[in-house]
Amino acid sequence: MQPEIFSYDNKIVKYFTYATIIWGVVGMIVGLLIALQLAFPYFNFDISFTTYGRLRPIHTNAVIFAFVGNAIFTGVYYSMQRLLKTRMYSDLLSYIHFWGWQLIIVLAALTLALGFTAGKEYAELEWPVDLLIAVVWIVFGWNMFGTIARRRVQHLYVAIWFYIASWVAVTILHVFNSVELPVSLFKSYPVYAGVQDALVQWWYGHNAVAFFLTTPFLGLMYYFLPKAANRPIYSYKLSIIHFWTLIFIYIWSGPHHLLYQALPDWAQTIGVIFSVMLIAPSWGGMINGLLTLRGVWDKVRETPMLKFMAVAVTAYGMVTFEGPMLAIKTVNGLVHFTDWIIAHVHIGGLGWNGFLTFAMLYWLIPVLWRTKLYSNKLANIHFWLGTLGVLFYAIPLYWAAITQGLMWKEFTPEGFLRYPNFLETVVQIIPMYVTRIAGGVLYIVGVVLMVYNLVKTIKQGSFVASEEVSAMPLEKINRHRILGETIHGWVERKPVQFTFWVAVALLFGSIVSIVPMFVVKTNIPTISSVKPYSPLELQGRDIYIREGCYTCHSQMVRPFRSETERYGEYSKSGEFVYDHPFQWGSRRMGPDLARTGVVEGKMYKTAAWHFNHFYNPQEMNAESRMPAYPWLIANKMNISSTPAKINAMIMLGVPYPEGFAERSVDSLMNQARMIADDLKQSGIEVEPDREVIAMIAYMHRLGRDISEQKPVKTGLVMKTDVPGILTDQESVDLGAQLFKANCAACHGVSGEGNAIGPNLTDNYWIHGGAPDSVYNTIYNGVPAKGMQAWKDLLTKDQLQQVFSFSMKIKGTNMSGGRAPQGLEEKPQKME
């Protein structure tokens, strides 16, 4: 057999390299800008395109899909050709992939700036762009598998395993999370609603981290680290074990983004335990990388590329330890919705993805241009600036997270929230935000030095677009396992089988963790009072999504005393059945909004307040970090699409009455006029067709359905229902006897009170005079004050009798009674 002469396509690698560098700088600068906005709201510039809510998705999409995405393709196109000893399958596909991906990035930036967004984190892009992504991704896969098919190497190296798994997983994730019903060219609704949408979204969101930010980079590490260190991989067996356990376990752990939220307990448990089980598989990659460097640590000290690589792998190890810890419910209860998560992802993004990309570029560009790196010294400076940048970025945010998380939960000895005003907890962490900006600046200055260094390197080198090489053709060997061949060794030379098993590993966890939420009805208990949004509220909701409000506000009250005290009743899964998409949020820069429509609640604000607040938040709260939204008042609502939106919702199963779409515009305008009239009474003149009216309608809707059920303080009564009040003479007499025997010592024979216990016959109540409050006091007692819990001392019937007697004497105002204590009960509140 003769060696075959062929060439590697270096030009496509060069293209992706340039794109990586350019988008990296752009994405990071947008990141710096939004960091500035959080510390100094001035930087929102009062322009819709540049507000935080629109720029934050641009930042995340840019650094994930543009910077890291192009870095993946750079490394994949370089390493795959060499690992498989063949040119890419098709140059045409390579360049369609390249230009298609860049087009997607440009479209993403434009559409997101214009407010065309699906409102789901890291999956914000609207349906035409989603389709384009699918096409380009298929082109990439076609090219990749074509290349694998034409390989001149019998076995697939571990880097290729990771590339295959990444491609398969991202395909599945993107397709299933993007099933959406278009309403117009740039507006769609996801077919999933509420809890289901949340589960699918975080299955996607978490695994976008896993299979876009992690597994492809592990593939890159497995190629570039041993190449640069000139060392063999420490353990082939570890590669096998950590590859399969990683991809099998990763796919399950999405629900850890939804702990203590309106998700069934079993799904949360899946999120917890699969995250904990991820520690070892993730560390497998770090350990294999670090142990590969064993024996060449002196070289690591001297070679900037290896330094970056070593820190990248270490950052990966830190992040993948931190992740499982954050997935433990107790920890999560404190730091979810805080900056801990932001710090965590930046250790990953800046440390792992950033540093590994820099390492790759410092190694790859001198190789491609056949020269030496222009300046090792500059690269070393970059290394230190970058490392310091990460520390200055992350440490203040960890601090901010703990500070704010504790402030949210702190109660005074009197039992009030110590910081009932949410803003206080934000003001407290602004200094940390300023420090974080410094960290970002250091990191970006380092990157600028790198760009200079690499440009100089490119200038002094000579690029070979097509690199001629030779290799022996692939020998045909037995399809079946050969004697002495391990099963894994066999599958490694069977790409189709290998891909099949990868797909099985990925689909198994996906199906088991998600499908029950769709088919088992009890997972989402129905709440009959929850009704579809009115057309105006829906309009408001779409504006809420357009402005990216979910980037700072959650709509998810967790079942903690500190949250129900601050916001109101905790969120139930049945509340969200008409939410396409769900808007639970993941970070609270501002307060939770799930209960802003509960008139009696703690979060309610009038229409006039909302109007003024949208127009100029700082006028209402001087320290507020919220951008101003003057265009909501200037802009007319787009009501031409309202009937189409209602019809789309009907198609998705939202039960609007028949023919409602035709009446929807009338309904919308009627409601809008009512709000405009309300504003007029406060002296605010505004046309009813303005966007702000829809936003007010939406704010006043949130939480209202469930509040109309009036579940008065049910939270206090432990595992028991309040019985009815008996009025028949026999029961009342029995109650009176029980009262005399058990209660009179403290409350007097007729309930008039004495030196120990309060008067029960007046209208003043210390622990509430409503029937369920009274029953609760009898049932659970107030041990701190000497009132016994009677639940274990009396039978259920006896409890009901004495409770009925207590209700009978209420308001009889016995003479000689003890002076009133507690709050007077207002007559209209008597039930």
Residue ranges in 154-193 that form contacts with other proteins under rule CB under 8 A: 154-155, 157-159
657 contacts other proteins (rule: CB under 8 A):
no
Q: Contact at 8 Å (CB) between 48 and 130?
A: no
Site string for other proteins, 613-632 (x = CB under 8 A): ------xxx-----------
Dihedrals phi, psi of 582, to nearest 5 degrees? -65, 155
268 contacts other proteins (rule: CB under 8 A):
yes
758 contacts other proteins (rule: CB under 8 A):
yes
Q: In this complex, which beta carbon is closest to other proteins, that of residue 659 or of residue 683?
A: 683
766 contacts other proteins (rule: CB under 8 A):
yes
Q: In this complex, which beta carbon is closest to other proteins, that of residue 619 or of residue 797?
A: 619
* Among 185-193, 237-245, 432-440, 735-743, the segment contacting other proteins (CB under 8 A): 237-245
Q: In this complex, which beta carbon is closest to other proteins, that of residue 636 or of residue 719?
A: 719
d(CA 261, CA 256): 10
Q: In this complex, which beta carbon is closest to other proteins, that of residue 612 or of residue 742?
A: 612
d(CA 645, CA 668): 12
239 contacts other proteins (rule: CB under 8 A):
yes
770 contacts other proteins (rule: CB under 8 A):
no
In whole angstroms, what separates CA 563 from the centre of its chain?
19
Report the site for other proteins in 193-232 (rule: CB under 8 A).
222-223, 226-227, 229-232
Q: In this complex, which beta carbon is closest to other proteins, that of residue 231 or of residue 456?
A: 231
Report the site for other proteins in 783-812 (rule: CB under 8 A).
783-785
Dihedrals phi, psi of 404, to nearest 5 degrees? -70, -40
| 811: its two tokens | 């308001």
505 C-beta neighbours (distance < 10 Å), count: 22
Site string for other proteins, 538-567 (x = CB under 8 A): ---------------------xxx--xx--
Q: In this complex, which beta carbon is closest to other proteins, that of residue 47 or of residue 512?
A: 512
675, 681, 682, 685 alpha-carbon torsion, rounded to 10°: 70
* Binding-site member from 149, 237, 384, 733 for other proteins (CB under 8 A): 237
d(CA 760, CA 636): 58
Q: What minimum distance in Å lies between the beta carbon of 416 and other proteins?
A: 6
d(CA 514, CA 536): 32
SS (H, E, C) 801-812: HHHHHHHHHCCC
Instruction: For residue 8, give the H/E element and its range.
Output: strand 4-9
Size of the site for other proteins (CB under 8 A): 108
DSSP secondary structure letters along 51-86: SHHHHHHHHHHIIIIIIIHHHHHHHHHHHHHHHHTS
309 C-beta neighbours (distance < 10 Å), count: 29
Q: In this complex, which beta carbon is closest to other proteins, that of residue 452 or of residue 609?
A: 609
d(CA 531, CA 477): 65
* Among 15-23, 80-88, 438-446, 740-748, the segment contacting other proteins (CB under 8 A): 80-88
Reference 631, options 549, 528, 547, 717; nearest CA is: 547
Site string for other proteins, 242-261 (x = CB under 8 A): x--x--------------x-
Site string for other proteins, 457-486 (x = CB under 8 A): ---------------x--x-xx---xxxx-
827 contacts other proteins (rule: CB under 8 A):
no
Q: Is 487 exposed, middle or buried (0-12, 13-18, 19+ CB in 10 A)?
A: exposed
Q: What minimum distance in Å lies between the beta carbon of 500 and other proteins?
A: 22
Q: What minimum distance in Å lies between the beta carbon of 490 and other proteins?
A: 9
Q: In this complex, which beta carbon is closest to other proteins, that of residue 281 or of residue 532?
A: 281
* Binding-site member from 29, 107, 241, 434 for other proteins (CB under 8 A): 241
494 contacts other proteins (rule: CB under 8 A):
no
Dihedrals phi, psi of 468, to nearest 5 degrees? -75, 130
| 725: its two tokens | 């009040």
Report the site for other proteins in 505-524 (rule: CB under 8 A).
none
Reference 202, options 180, 221, 181, 176; nearest CA is: 176
Q: Is 263 exposed, middle or buried (0-12, 13-18, 19+ CB in 10 A)?
A: buried
276 contacts other proteins (rule: CB under 8 A):
yes
Q: Contact at 8 Å (CB) between 750 and 818?
A: no
266 contacts other proteins (rule: CB under 8 A):
yes
Q: What minimum distance in Å lies between the beta carbon of 598 and other proteins?
A: 8
* Binding-site member from 609, 643, 674, 770 for other proteins (CB under 8 A): 609
CB-based contacts of 568, cutoff 8 Å, min separation 6? 557, 594, 595, 598, 601, 602, 603, 703, 707
H-only helix segments in 493-571: 495-519, 535-546, 561-566
Report the site for other proteins in 319-338 (rule: CB under 8 A).
none
* Among 25-33, 181-189, 307-315, 407-415, the segment contacting other proteins (CB under 8 A): 407-415
Site string for other proteins, 718-737 (x = CB under 8 A): xx------------------
d(CA 496, CA 461): 40
* Among 65-73, 153-161, 504-512, 583-591, the segment contacting other proteins (CB under 8 A): 153-161
| 177: its two tokens | 């999370």
Q: What minimum distance in Å lies between the beta carbon of 446 and other proteins?
A: 29
* Binding-site member from 22, 134, 153, 464 for other proteins (CB under 8 A): 153
d(CA 39, CA 42): 9
| 38: its two tokens | 């959080």
CB-based contacts of 112, cutoff 8 Å, min separation 6? 54, 57, 58, 61, 124, 125
Report the site for other proteins in 659-718 (rule: CB under 8 A).
682-684, 715-716, 718
775 contacts other proteins (rule: CB under 8 A):
no
Q: What minimum distance in Å lies between the beta carbon of 86 and other proteins?
A: 12
* Binding-site member from 65, 217, 274, 775 for other proteins (CB under 8 A): 274
Reference 263, options 329, 199, 332, 176; nearest CA is: 199
* Among 106-114, 378-386, 656-664, 819-827, the segment contacting other proteins (CB under 8 A): 819-827
Q: What minimum distance in Å lies between the beta carbon of 223 and other proteins?
A: 7
Q: In this complex, which beta carbon is closest to other proteins, that of residue 729 or of residue 828?
A: 828
Q: What minimum distance in Å lies between the beta carbon of 106 and other proteins?
A: 34
* Binding-site member from 24, 115, 271, 284 for other proteins (CB under 8 A): 284
* Pairing mode, strands 764-765 and 180-184: unpaired
131 contacts other proteins (rule: CB under 8 A):
no
Secondary structure (3-state) at 181? strand
Q: What minimum distance in Å lies between the beta carbon of 199 and other proteins?
A: 16
> How many residues in total does the chain contain?
831
Q: In this complex, which beta carbon is closest to other proteins, that of residue 236 or of residue 500?
A: 236
* Binding-site member from 273, 406, 746, 814 for other proteins (CB under 8 A): 273
Report the site for other proteins in 574-603 (rule: CB under 8 A).
599-602
Q: In this complex, which beta carbon is closest to other proteins, that of residue 286 or of residue 807?
A: 286
* Binding-site member from 146, 182, 489, 643 for other proteins (CB under 8 A): 489
In the block, tokens 């510390």 appear at 39
384 contacts other proteins (rule: CB under 8 A):
no
| 619: its two tokens | 């006028």
Q: In this complex, which beta carbon is closest to other proteins, that of residue 484 or of residue 659?
A: 484
| 823: its two tokens | 């709050």
Instruction: Taking the CA atoms of 124, 127, 132 and 133 in sequence, report the sign of the dihedral they define.
Output: positive
CB-based contacts of 3, cutoff 8 Å, min separation 6? 470, 471, 472
Instruction: For residue 21, give the H/E element and its range.
Output: helix 10-39
